[in-house]
């Protein structure tokens, strides 16, 4: 067992973890932060995407021990301080950017990273950036639309079919 | 996964010492190793994470050489090598997806030598030098075969030094499901000649296409390739593409890389 300490959504957390404990296991099973989803468990689908030191990572493909000392942010830490949805989350709701919702936490975390790196992406840039986030409902058009809208751009020209 | 411990040394010496433990294995960014462990295809007693070794981080330029620390992520190479070696930065920026690029490292990719990985093509085409904790190995001697390198047990890639070319480009024809390269070709033009390295295609892993190198060294244009052909012998043949198809793609992607390099 190794003792790890990290800041998760602004709160300091210390736990003893085994070497093979994945970051996502610590988040979900130990800390009950079940908003982060495990889809494929093979680092393909991106449902488990969280931010570690401000960068998107797949929490199913990182060990908890590797996050020792890190700042971790999960979907539970994304809402505004008053509990209302943030701009990106609200845009997903407004533009029907989710169907079953399973991929949504990862999509929101990925979208947040994208808009931080590139505040006004083109539609194509959004689609390329989401390469590692799979929506098995295939609801990509509205996800792209939501992200474009969250960036303050006109989405009327984006095909919805 | 089988149970194991993780150590996170901060110096190369400590990492090398930790790797002397029985069944210890180095951990780069884990983007290949962790899925491998999940499939129970490896059973280390201990993983030695290299992510916090300060001397293995970052990108620096000295004269005509770009040096990249072994624990540098693809995302860092994509941004920090963009000025000095844009062809290499572009390659790094198209490995996996953004989250994978934030974890995966050049040392891990080179040491794993996946037959469809991108970095081995860049290292071989650039005539790079692989720096380890004990020695320097020319890329020509480093990539031995599929998933095989010249690294000894417990030896780690601490840095990779790339001579910066006059022009270079990498063209990857991706397998649409995995987005690994079905065939990827890196072309690099130096004052003393052109080097062409091919990944994804051969059962022997990354290789140099020497006929194309000769033709392109005297005439750096896609036309120079028109009379050349690539043999399908030893090419990977699977449900994604036959050996003949891969051999065909080698020429097509080389031509595109030359055009794009200008």
| Interface contact flag, B6 A61, Cβ < 8 Å | no
Backbone angles phi, psi at B145, to 5 degrees: -175, -175
A140 with A159: CB under 8 angstroms?
no
Q: Is there a contact between A82 and A41 (Cβ–Cβ < 8 Å)? A: no
Q: Closest Cα of chain B to A38: distance in Å?
A: 14
**Chain A to chain B, count of Cβ pairs less than 8 Å apart?**
77
Distance CA A151, CA B234 (A): 49
State whether the Cα torsion B64-B127-B119-B242 is positive or negative.
positive
When the candidates are 3.30.390.50, 3.40.50.10190, 3.40.50.150, 3.40.50.300, the CATH number that belongs to B167-261 is 3.30.390.50
Q: Does residue A160 surpass a pLDDT of 80?
A: no
Residue A158: per-residue pLDDT: 79
Asked if A18 lies within 8 A of B96 by C-beta distance, the reply is: no
Q: How confident is the model at residue A159 (pLDDT cuts 50, 70, 90)?
A: low
Range(s) of the domain holding residue A16: 2-76
Per-residue pLDDT tens digits for A54-82:
999 999 999 999 999 999 999 999 999 99
Query: How far apart (Å, rounded) are the C-alpha atoms in residues B66 and B161?
Result: 6
SS (H, E, C) B167-184: EEEEEEEECCCCCCEEEE
Tokens matching residue B59: 């990108």
Is the same domain home to A56 and A96? no
**Which CATH number is correct for B5-49, 3.90.1150.10, 3.30.43.10, 3.40.50.280, 3.40.50.150?**
3.30.43.10
pLDDT computed for residue B136 by the predictor: 98
Does A114 map to a domain? yes
Strand-strand pairing, B65-69 and B59-62: antiparallel
pLDDT tens digits in sequence order for chain B, 262 residues long: 999 999 999 999 999 999 999 999 999 999 999 999 999 999 999 999 999 999 999 999 999 999 999 999 999 999 999 999 999 999 999 999 999 999 999 999 999 999 999 999 999 999 999 999 999 999 999 999 999 999 999 999 999 999 999 999 999 999 888 888 999 999 999 999 999 999 999 999 999 999 999 999 999 999 999 999 999 999 999 999 999 999 999 999 999 999 999 8
Chain B residue with the nearest C-alpha to that of A56: B99
All structural domains of chain B with their residue ranges? 5-49, 54-163, 167-261
Which CATH number characterizes residue A24's domain?
3.10.20.30
Is the pLDDT at A161 greater than 60? The verdict is: no
CA dist B88 and B105 (Å) reads 14
A68 with A122, same domain? no
Instruction: Assess contact for B110 and B92: CB atoms under 8 A.
Output: no
Q: Which residue, among B27, B98, B11, B70, has the nearest Cα to A66 in the 3D structure?
A: B27
Residues of A in contact with B179 (CB under 8 A): 131
């Amino acid at each position: 067992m190794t003792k790890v300490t990290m800041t998760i959504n602004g709160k300091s957390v210390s736990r003893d973890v085994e070497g093979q404990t994945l970051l996502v296991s610590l988040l979900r099973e130990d800390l009950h932060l079940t908003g982060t989803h495990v889809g494929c468990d093979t680092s393909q689908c991106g449902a488990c995407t969280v931010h570690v030191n401000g960068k998107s990572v797949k929490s199913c493909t990182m060990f908890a021990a590797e996050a020792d000392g890190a700042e971790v942010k999960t979907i539970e830490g994304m809402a505004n301080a008053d509990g209302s949805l943030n701009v990106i989350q609200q845009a997903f709701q407004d533009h029907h950017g989710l169907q079953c919702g399973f991929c949504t936490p990862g999509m929101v975390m990925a979208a947040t990273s994208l808009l931080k790196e590139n505040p006004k992406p083109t539609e194509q840039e959004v689609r390329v950036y989401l390469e590692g986030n799979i929506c098995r409902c295939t609801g990509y058009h509205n996800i792209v639309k939501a992200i474009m809208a969250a960036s303050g751009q006109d989405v009327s020209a984006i095909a919805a079919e | 996964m089988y149970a194991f411990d993780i150590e996170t040394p901060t110096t190369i010496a400590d990492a090398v010492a930790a790797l002397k433990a029985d069944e210890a294995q180095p951990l780069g960014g884990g983007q290949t190793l962790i899925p491998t462990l999940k499939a129970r295809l490896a059973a280390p007693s201990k993983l030695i994470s290299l992510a916090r070794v300060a001397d293995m981080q970052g990108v620096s330029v000295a004269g005509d050489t770009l040096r990249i620390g072994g624990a540098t992520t693809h995302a860092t190479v994509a941004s920090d090598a963009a000025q000095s070696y844009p062809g290499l930065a572009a390659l790094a920026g198209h490995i996996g997806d953004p989250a994978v690029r934030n974890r995966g490292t050049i040392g891990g990719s080179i040491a794993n030598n996946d037959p469809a990985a991108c970095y081995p093509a860049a290292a071989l085409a650039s005539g790079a030098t692989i720096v380890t904790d004990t020695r320097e190995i020319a890329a020509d001697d480093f990539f031995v075969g599929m998933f095989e390198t010249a690294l000894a047990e417990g030896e780690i890639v601490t840095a990779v030094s790339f001579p910066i070319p006059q022009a270079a480009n990498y063209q990857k024809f991706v397998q649409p499901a995995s987005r690994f390269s079905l065939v990827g070709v890196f072309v690099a033009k130096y004052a003393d000649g052109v080097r062409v390295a091919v990944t994804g295609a051969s059962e022997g892993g990354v290789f140099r296409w020497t006929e194309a190198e000769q033709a392109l060294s005297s005439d750096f244009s896609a036309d120079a390739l028109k009379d050349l052909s690539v043999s399908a012998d030893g090419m990977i043949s699977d449900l994604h593409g036959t050996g003949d198809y891969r051999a065909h793609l080698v020429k097509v992607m080389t031509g595109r890389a030359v055009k794009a390099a200008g």
